[in-house]
Amino acid sequence: MTLKRNTPPPIFGVNRVEYIQPKRYELSNGVELFTMNSGDQEVVKIDFSFRAGSWYAQSRLDSIMAALMLQEGTTTMKALEIANTFDFYGAQFSSSSSYDFNYITLLCLKKYLPKLLPMVSEIIHNSSFPEDEFEILRQKRKQRAIVDAERVGLIAQKGFLRNLFGEGHPYAPVASPASYDTISINGVKSHYSKFYRSDNMAITASGFIDSEVIQQIKDNFSSAWGDPNQVANTNNHLLPLADKLMFIEKQGANQNAVAIGKLFPTQNHPDFPGIKLLCTILGGYFGSRLMSNIREEKGYTYSIQASPISFLHNGIFLVFAEVKTDKTEETVKEIFHEMEILNSELITEKELIPIQNYLLGRILEDFDGPFARAQTFASLREVNMDFEYYDRMIDAIKSTTPAQIRDIAQKYLDPKSMSTIVAGIR
pLDDT tens by residue, 392-416? 999 999 999 999 999 999 999 999 9
Pairing, β 102-109 against β 43-50:
antiparallel
**Are both 405 and 267 inside the same structural domain?**
yes
Instruction: Classify residue 240: in a domain, yes or no.
Output: no
Q: Where a domain ends, among 221, 256, 280?
A: 221
* Average of per-residue pLDDT across 355-367: 91
Is 143 or 8 the better-scoring residue by pLDDT? Answer: 143
Same domain, yes or no, for 372 and 255? Answer: yes
257 and 160 in a common domain: no
SS3 348: coil
Could you tell me if residue 261 is inside a domain?
Answer: yes
Same domain, 31 and 160: yes
Does 226 map to a domain?
no
Same domain as 364, residue 406: yes
Dist CA 266 CA 309 (whole Å): 8
pLDDT digit string, tens, across residues 33-56: 999 998 788 999 999 999 999 999
Strand, helix or coil for residue 26: strand
Residues 161 and 45 in one domain: yes
Cβ proximity of 142 and 180 under 8 Å:
yes
Tens of pLDDT, residues 4-36? 778 877 766 677 777 888 999 999 999 999 999
Same domain, 44 and 152: yes
The enclosing domain of 250 has a CATH number of 3.30.830.10
pLDDT of 127 higher than 80: yes
Whether pLDDT at 77 is above 80: yes
| Domain shared by 37 and 131, yes or no | yes
pLDDT at 135 over 70: yes
**For residues 242 and 170, is the Cβ–Cβ distance under 8 A?**
no
48 domain residue, yes or no: yes
Is the overall model pTM greater than 0.85, yes or no?
A: yes
pLDDT of 227 over the 90 cut? no
Residue 396 lies in a domain: yes
Task: Tell me how many domains the chain contains.
Answer: 2
The tens digit of pLDDT for each residue in 172-222 reads 998 889 999 999 999 999 999 999 999 999 999 999 999 999 999 999 999
Q: How far apart are CA 198 and CA 246, in angstroms?
A: 44
Q: What is the mean pLDDT of the chain?
A: 92
Q: Judge if 195 and 252 occupy the same domain.
A: no
Co-location of 124 and 163 in the same domain:
yes
Helical (H) or strand (E) element with 315: strand 315-324
Answer yes or no: is 239 within a domain.
no
Q: What's the pLDDT at 237?
A: 72
* 383 and 249, same domain (yes or no): yes
In a domain, 3, yes or no: no
- Cross-sheet strand order for the sheet of 419-424: 245-249, 419-424, 255-264, 315-324, 301-310
What is the end-to-end Cα distance of the chain in Å, rounded? 64
205 plus 305 within the same structural domain: no
Task: Examine the pLDDT at 129 and tell me if it is beyond 60.
Answer: yes
Q: Which domain holds residue 186?
A: 23-221
Pairing of strands 32-37, 201-207: parallel
Query: What proportion of the chain, given as a percentage, has pLDDT over 70?
Result: 97
Dihedral Cα 303, 156, 98, 106, nearest 10 deg: 40
